[in-house]
């Protein structure tokens, strides 16, 4: 696995999902950065996104609410750190919009994390890399055990299907 990151990954605190997907990077970018296109795929079914707000700029808000099959809800507020159209999107749950420190843990047992979505165009395909950085081994382990690979992988599969048929 190649790292599109300008630093060395820490296998104890960083989780990575990388796949080559058969959709172009500009469509993946649109799916990640437009609320109407993010909502249909962003969380593994039967969970759904009920609300999404995107202020696509460094310091801007990325807010979303997830609802489970029994009506349970989770609300998340993140801050964009880097926005490089069609190449890299970085957001963190450690900060709220305006780079303000977050006041609470986003998930039980997970202090926070920073997500780096890197897109490398390869003709009509895209090398998709999602790297999630955690502040410590315990948070990374908890996130991994909650189903990081399966959950983020399922969401990616849903996104590819959505881009091919629903956009």
Say how far apart CA 43 and CA 39 lie, in whole Å: 8
Whether the model clears a pTM of 0.75, i.e. scores above it, the answer is yes
How confident is residue 8, by pLDDT bands cut at 50, 70 and 90?
confident
DSSP annotation string for 30-90: HHHH-HHHHTTTSS-TT-EEEEEEE--STT-EEEEEEE-TTS-EEEEEEEEEEEETTTEEE
The pLDDT value recorded for residue 12 is 94
Chain segment 112-138, per-residue pLDDT in tens: 899 999 999 999 999 999 999 999 999
Closest CA to 92 of 71, 66, 112: 112
Compute the distance between CA of residue 7 and CA of residue 133 in angstroms, rounded to an integer: 12
For the structural domain made of 14-165, what CATH number should be given?
A: 3.30.530.20
Mean pLDDT computed over 18-26: 96
1 has pLDDT over 60: no
């Amino acid at each position: 696995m190649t790292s599109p990151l300008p630093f060395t990954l820490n296998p104890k605190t960083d989780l990575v999902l990388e796949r080559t997907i058969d959709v172009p990077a500009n469509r993946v970018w649109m799916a990640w950065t437009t609320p109407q296109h993010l909502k249909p795929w962003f969380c593994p079914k039967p969970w759904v996104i009920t609300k999404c707000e995107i202020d696509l700029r460094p310091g801007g808000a990325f807010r979303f609410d997830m609802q489970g099959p029994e009506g349970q809800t989770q609300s998340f507020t993140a801050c964009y750190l880097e926005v490089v159209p069609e190449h890299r999107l970085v957001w963190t749950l450690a900060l709220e919009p305006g780079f303000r420190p977050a006041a609470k843990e986003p998930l039980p047992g997970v202090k926070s994390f920073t997500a780096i979505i890197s897109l490398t165009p390869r003709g009509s395909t895209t090398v998709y890399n999602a790297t999630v950085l955690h502040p410590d081994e315990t948070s990374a382990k908890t996130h991994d055990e909650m189903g990081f690979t399966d959950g983020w992988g399922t969401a990616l599969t849903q996104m590819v299907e959505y881009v091919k048929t629903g956009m």
